[in-house]
Structure 1
Amino acid sequence: MSTLYEQLAESLEQRIRDGHLRPGERLPSVRQACAQAQVSAATVFQAYYLLESRGLIEARPRSGYYVCRPVQGQARPALPEQVRTESTPVAISELVFEVLNSTRDREVVPLGSAFPAPELFPLDRLARAGARAMRHLAPQALTAELTAGNARLRDALRARYIRQGIVVNPDDPIITNGAMEALNLCLQAVTQPGDVVAVESPTFYAALQALERLHLRAIEIPTDPTSGIDPDGLAEVLSQHRVAACWLMPSFQNPLGALMPTSRRQAIVQTLAQAGVPVVEDDVYGELYHGATRPLPLKAFDREGLVLHCSSFSKCLAPGYRVGWAAAGRFAPAVQRLKMMSSLATSVPSQMALAEYLEEGGFDRHLRRLRLSLANNLAKVRLMVLKYFPPGTRVSQPQGGYFLWIQLPEHVDTLKLHRAALSQGISIAPGLLFSADMRFRNSLRLNGGHPNEPNMVDAIRTLGVLASQGPGRTA
């Protein structure tokens, strides 16, 4: 159910899209909008902030809000590449370690980080919930629910699935040590060493690391920066290769930020069901939508139990708690056995804290604040990139999450740019991290999830200068 400010924002956005509110036209004042929509001033301000975060309107001091004019020379998203005809062995980990190690220094501006700012999360309230839950925990409960996870937390997660209209089987969800364990266990449950796995291109480097660890081969499917993979492209790959499984991120894909339309999701689930191919769905960013409603995961359209849906609280509520889950469909018993044979269980105090927090309410209120903050900051970072980066730069325009995918002119080498930026106290994630055969050399991912970072403007300006003139140039 969307809030009043989201409903008002959607109504105004539709008027802008339809041309009823033209570029440069002034929006109603807050007082006028209150009278017209019969809402409070706070609701109007939140709606206007949301539209501003989407780059649709702009505030002018002492004048009001106006519909934005198109940015001159506005960058377009990078185009997907052609389908590669051969699967690829994966050896990406050394480069990933090099880049990730560079983001640990607190003095470095974390544009290359994979996490939003920790101050965006209710960590004090979670700590109090955890202390309260542990005081009332019966000693025998510490070992009674080891592998599958805490019953209260699993019930709370089932309730959230039900509210989305998704039915999960009695064995689901299985609580894991973050989404990465869920994704790795699910992938292991449906593959054998040497198998081919279809992934997006570009794709999240942790997916490539999982394939590398399990001795799997990757076949990369071109992925549109706006709408994700094309069902026809997937069908072509399935017809040409013996694919054992897919690993997909339909909602605010890392690194592109792509949001797969509902029609594509349905077509992809149907295509995979006809081929009998399971899909590991990475849905860690699903709650971070910037619009009015949460996009339905692939799991919502699964009738054969072939979608292994994985998510966690790390990106939306509790970074560092390392609590994720898998709703693995027909593969749930296999995933649970693998969990028992590997890590056995997930931290009980972390599970108890989250269960207590979810039961006392406030999660959805926190998510509304988080989404608004991320949307506002991502829009600001995008405008700064358009302002400071060299001509010919292409920039994605995500509808959720907190990542921007940037394609620089072809002569720029973003691995060199990464090293030059690091010497200036700035981290980025170069494009080579996101492909099994290390393509996307002139692309990079930026993190827009740090709204209170004091050096953000200077860092992006410096990146623009380095990309234009400095060591980022190829020979």
Structure 2
Amino acid sequence: MQASSSAADGHLYEQVMAEMAALIEAGTLRQGDRLPSVRRLSRQRGVSVATVVQAYLGLEDRGLVEARPQSGHYVRARRAPLPPEPRLPRPTTTACKVSVRSVAARVYSASRDPSIVPFGAASPSPELLPTDKLNRILAAIARSAGGAGVAYDPPPGLPALRRQIARRSVDWGCALGPDDIVTTIGAMEALHLCLKAVARRGDTIAIESPTYFGLLQLIESLGIRAVEIPSHPRAGMDLDVLEEALGRHAIKAVLAVPNFSNPLGALMPDEAKERLVAMLARREIPLIEDDIHGDLHFGDVRPRVAKSFDRHGLVMLCSSFSKTLAPGYRVGWVAPGRFRDTVEQLKFAQTVASPTLTQMAVAELLDEGGYDHHLRALRRRLAAQVARVSEAVAEHFPAGTRVARPSGGFVLWVEMPTGVSALDLHDRALDRGISVAPGPLFSAKHRFLHCVRLNCGFPWSDLLDHGVRTLGRLAGEMVGS
């Protein structure tokens, strides 16, 4: 008898997927073997056709099988082993001004062109997001909200949204209340407000290296100096080097991404997060924590935030729904700890209020449930896409290439041989309709000359395959020149 309920199907597809994956891993099903048809496996397992379809999609996402039009599903060929991981950057603890504006503008410009292969800007594909559902919710709210939908929503922001965020904080190891949270126009405004609350023009802060170039642009716009702290590809910021830097410089704040940093995808262990928070607390130095990728973990458990170890209100936790729900809705938030009043005042002075309707739509979606189910599917797809791009880089890039092993998020850091200039590769690739983010963008000192970051937020396709092949060929030509 077939299972009929959607809830049952939701559990059964994972069982079917695990069974088929085990057959592939054991060699029972080998490269090129055809899997049973959807209807046949449905009859054999006593499950619905929809369950088998979902299981086969999951196997595709994991790179174990491939669908051939008008033919069925087949076991994929095994790819070559991944190259070594990128090397840890050498420490450089002198403070410097930041300037990455010009190259960053070119990366952003390319992201607006739909004909460009989108490896540059880090954004998820709209087809992975609950776009239709969110738009239906937004339309319904716009019809029924009346004046509330067009009225200002001054700080701290929409109570319904702050309640939903506070409820979710338990999963991060925190116990935030709605009054601990201020809503913002995306995570970037949250980070901007935090920096303005604790640092002034000419001050020095510590940042990860490499770090997201959007953060560097923000620091540059505020006239703040940066000390780069090397980050390990797996474990994140080197806390021994940070401790040394704290003794040498008058550091006003530390800006870090402990959970799935951009561009490395590194995950700082919990004991290191606790050490980081305690190290800064002893010196009364704020930690600005960017957790925008925290919900996009590839493992079974959502990692804790550094904020969960905060006992003194010095950790300012920032995030948004831009990477998981709707980048264009610009719904972000911050839990600024002891700096809450200052952040609220700065928020009002800077933008008065956040857009009301999009906050209402996100709050409604969180309240009605389904967000966690969406996250499970999204994480599975993103993990598979990162793995697929990693495999393609291993296959097509020149010998000597190194590839990070992100454990969450959807970006991939690639270190190429010394003969390859990332900036030259960016220019040559753009001439061929391919955008990448060159490594010097991710450093205040324009380091990482031979590295690029690749966006893995789009489902694998012939276009992306062609893009990686072309990048590998161009890099190879530079090595040989």
Structure 1-normalised TM-score? Answer: 0.87
Q: How far off its partner does 1:316 sit? A: 0.3
Partner of 1:222: 230
Partner of 1:191: 199
How do residues 401-440 of structure 1 correspond to structure 2 at under 5 angstroms? 401-440=409-448
How do residues 39-54 of structure 1 correspond to structure 2 at under 5 angstroms? none
CA contact (8 A) 2:142 2:357 kept: yes
Partner of 2:119: 111
Structure 1: tracts of 5 or more residues without a match: none
> Which deviations, in whole Å up to 9, do the C-alpha atoms of 1:341-383 show, x marking residues without a partner?
0111111111111112222221111111111111111111111
Shift in alpha-carbon separation, 1:246–1:344, aligned structure 2, 3 A:
same
Whole-Å separation in 2 of the counterparts to 1:40 and 1:293: 29
CA-atom RMSD, angstroms? Answer: 3.3
Please point out which of 326, 332, 336 is paired with 2:334. 326
How do residues 113-152 of structure 1 correspond to structure 2 at under 5 angstroms? 113-139=121-147, 142-143=150-151, 145-152=153-160
Q: How far off its partner does 1:223 sit? A: 0.4
Shift in alpha-carbon separation, 1:409–1:41, aligned structure 2, 3 A:
farther
- AA aligned opposite 1:156: Q
How do residues 289-300 of structure 1 correspond to structure 2 at under 5 angstroms? 289-300=297-308
Whole-Å separation in 1 of the counterparts to 2:231 and 2:49: 41
Matched, 1:305 2:313: yes
Q: Secondary structure at the match of 1:280?
A: strand
How do residues 34-433 of structure 1 correspond to structure 2 at under 5 angstroms? 71-72=80-81, 74-139=82-147, 142-143=150-151, 145-168=153-176, 171-433=179-441
- AA aligned opposite 2:396: Y
Q: How far off its partner does 1:22 sit? A: 12
Q: How far off its partner does 1:50 sit? A: 6.6
CA contact (8 A) 2:416 2:450 kept: yes
Shift in alpha-carbon separation, 1:133–1:244, aligned structure 2, 3 A:
same
> Which deviations, in whole Å up to 9, do the C-alpha atoms of 1:21-54 show, x marking residues without a partner?
9986559999xxx9xxx99998899789778867
Q: How far off its partner does 1:169 sit? A: 5.1
> Which deviations, in whole Å up to 9, do the C-alpha atoms of 1:48-72 show, x marking residues without a partner?
97788677x7789999979x98945
Shift in alpha-carbon separation, 1:396–1:53, aligned structure 2, 3 A:
farther
Q: How far off its partner does 1:250 sit? A: 1.1
Whole-Å separation in 2 of the counterparts to 1:44 and 1:119: 21
Q: How far off its partner does 1:419 sit? A: 0.7
Q: Secondary structure at the match of 1:294?
A: coil
CA contact (8 A) 1:6 1:291 kept: no
> Which deviations, in whole Å up to 9, do the C-alpha atoms of 1:412-438 show, x marking residues without a partner?
001111110111111100001000010
Stretch deviating more after TM superposition (144-153 or 175-184): 144-153
Partner of 2:454: 446
Q: How far off its partner does 1:186 sit? A: 0.7
Whole-Å separation in 2 of the counterparts to 1:70 and 1:114: 25
CA contact (8 A) 1:316 1:367 kept: yes
CA contact (8 A) 2:319 2:333 kept: yes
Identity over the aligned pairs, expressed in percent? Answer: 42
Q: How far off its partner does 1:103 sit? A: 2.3
> Which deviations, in whole Å up to 9, do the C-alpha atoms of 1:320-355 show, x marking residues without a partner?
011101111111111110000011111111111111
Structure 2-normalised TM-score? Answer: 0.86
Shift in alpha-carbon separation, 1:52–1:294, aligned structure 2, 3 A:
farther
Shift in alpha-carbon separation, 1:58–1:193, aligned structure 2, 3 A:
same
Which structure carries more helix by proportion? Answer: 2
Shift in alpha-carbon separation, 1:46–1:221, aligned structure 2, 3 A:
farther
- AA aligned opposite 1:203: T
Whole-Å separation in 1 of the counterparts to 2:59 and 2:91: 36
Q: Secondary structure at the match of 2:266?
A: coil
CA contact (8 A) 1:171 1:333 kept: no
Partner of 1:456: 464
Whole-Å separation in 2 of the counterparts to 1:164 and 1:39: 35
Shift in alpha-carbon separation, 1:291–1:54, aligned structure 2, 3 A:
farther
- AA aligned opposite 2:121: S
- AA aligned opposite 1:113: A
- AA aligned opposite 2:89: E
Q: Secondary structure at the match of 2:448?
A: coil
Whole-Å separation in 2 of the counterparts to 1:363 and 1:22: 31
Whole-Å separation in 2 of the counterparts to 1:350 and 1:386: 41
Q: How far off its partner does 1:231 sit? A: 2.2
Whole-Å separation in 1 of the counterparts to 2:283 and 2:161: 34
Shift in alpha-carbon separation, 1:50–1:229, aligned structure 2, 3 A:
farther
> Which deviations, in whole Å up to 9, do the C-alpha atoms of 1:277-301 show, x marking residues without a partner?
1111111111111111111111111
Whole-Å separation in 1 of the counterparts to 2:149 and 2:383: 40
Whole-Å separation in 1 of the counterparts to 2:189 and 2:480: 38
Instruction: Count matched residues.
Output: 459
Q: How far off its partner does 1:140 sit? A: 5.4
